[in-house]
Amino acid sequence: MSDDHSDADDAPPIATDGGSSPSADDLDENVSHRFDRLAPTDAERTVEGRPSRATVLSWWEERFGIPPATFENHTFWEKGNGKLWVLAGDDADPSEVEAMGATVLRTRQEHWKPTTDAVQRFGHLATKNVIDLDLAEAERFAAGEDQDIERWDGDWGYLIAAHELPRETADDADGERAILGVGLYVHGELRSTVPKGRRRDL
Amino acid sequence: MHEVLERYRPIVDEFDAFAAAVERPLGKTVRVNTIKADVERVRAAFEDAGIAAEPTAWNPELLAVDTDGPGSTWPAFHGWIHSQEAVSTLPPIALDPQPGETIWDACAAPGSKTTQIAAMMDDEGRVVANDRNMGRLSALRFNAERLGVTNAIVTNRDARNYSLDPLAVDEFDRALVDAPCSGEGTLRKNPAALDSWSEGFLADVSGVQTDVLQRAIQATKPGGRVVYSTCTYAPEENETVLDRVLDAENCRIVEQELPIETRPGITEWDGTSFDPSVERAARIYPHLNDTGGFFVATLEVGA
Q: How far apart are CA A73 and CA B110, in angstroms?
A: 27
pLDDT at B167: 86
Spell out, as residue ranges, where chain B has pLDDT lower than 50: none
Task: Judge if B37 and B173 occupy the same domain.
Answer: no
Question: Do B100 and B225 sit in the same domain of this protein?
Answer: yes
Cα nearest neighbour of A120 on chain B: B78
* Same domain for B163 and B272: yes
- B19 and B165 belong to one structural domain: yes
Give the pLDDT confidence score for residue A170 in this predicted structure.
Answer: 47
For residues B184 and B232, give the distance between their C-alpha atoms in angstroms, rounded to a whole number.
5
CB B45 within 8 A of CB A166: yes
* Dihedral over Cα of B199, B200, B205, B211: its sign: positive
B120 and B53 in a common domain? no
Interchain CB contact of B136 with A (< 8 Å): no
The pLDDT, as a whole number, for residue A11 is: 34
B164 contact A CB<8A: no
pLDDT at A12: 37
Residues B140 and B276 in one domain: yes
CA torsion through residues B248, B252, B258, B262, sign = positive
Residue of A nearest to B79 (CA): A120
Residue B254 and residue B118 share a domain: yes
Q: Which amino acid does the sequence have at B250?
A: N
- CA A91, A95, A99, A102 torsion-angle sign: positive
For chain B, what is the domain count? 2
What pLDDT, on a 0 to 100 scale, did the predictor assign at position A25? 54
For residue A202, give how far its alpha carbon lies from the nearest alpha carbon of chain B (Å): 6
- Residue B130 to residues A30, A176, B161, Cα–Cα distance (Å): 26, 36, 12
* A33 interfacial to chain B (CB closer than 8 Å): no
Here the CATH number for the domain that contains residue B40 is: 3.30.70.1170
Chain A nearest-CA distance from B75, in A, is 10
Per-residue pLDDT, A16: 35
Statement to judge: residues B123 and B213 lie in one domain: yes
Q: Which pLDDT belongs to residue A180?
A: 98
Residue from B293, B302, B298 nearest B1 by CA = B293
Whole-angstrom CA distances from A65 to A78, A154, A162 are 23, 14, 15
At A43 the pLDDT is 93
Interface check for A197 against chain B (CB to CB < 8 A): the answer is: yes
CA distances for B190 relative to B25, B235, B260, B292, angstroms: 9, 21, 23, 10
Domain span including residue B179? 3-26+85-301
Give the residue from B68, B84, B100 where a domain finishes.
B84
∠ CA B250-B235-B227, rounded to 5°: 45
Same domain, B251 and B104: yes
Residues B43 and B140 in one domain: no
Q: Which among B69, B84, B99 is the end of a domain?
A: B84
Pair type for strands B220-230 and B172-178:
parallel
Contact of A104 with A88, CB cutoff 8 Å: no
- Identify the sign of the CA torsion B268, B274, B280, B283: negative
Q: Let me know whether B13 and B143 are in one domain.
A: yes
Residues of chain A with pLDDT under 50: 1-24, 170, 172
| CB hemisphere CA count around B239 (13 angstroms) | 24
Residues A146 and A114: their CA atoms lie apart, in Å, by: 18
Q: DSSP E strands: which ranges in chain A?
A: 36-37, 74-78, 83-88, 99-100, 102-106, 113-114, 130-132, 147-148, 157-166, 175-186, 189-192
- Residue of chain A with shortest Cα separation from B156: A98
Q: Which of B66, B84, B102 is the last residue of a domain?
A: B84
Burial class of residue B257 in the structure, from the number of CB atoms within 10 Å of its CB (0-12 exposed, 13-18 middle, 19+ buried): exposed
B102 and B41 inside one domain: no
**Nearest partner of A190 among A150, A136, A139, A143, judged by Cα:** A150
**Which pLDDT score is estimated for B165?**
83
Contacts of B38 in chain A (CB under 8 A): none
Residue B137: its chain A contacts at CB < 8 A? 98
Q: What is the CATH number of the domain that holds B295?
A: 3.40.50.150
| CA A150 to chain centroid | 23
Asked if B288 contacts B233 with a C-beta cutoff of 8 angstroms, the reply is: no
Smallest CA–CA separation between B31 and chain A, in Å? 17
Which of B78, B144, B166 lies at the smallest CB-CB distance from A94? B166
Looking at CATH, the fold of the domain delimited by A130-198 is given as 2.30.130
Q: Give domain limits for chain A.
A: 36-124, 130-198
Rounded Cα–Cα distance for residues A96 and A94 (Å): 6
- Taking phi over 0 as left and psi of -120 to 50 as alpha, with beta for the rest, B14 belongs to left
Distance of CA B105 to the CA centre of its chain: 10
Rg (CA), chain B: 19
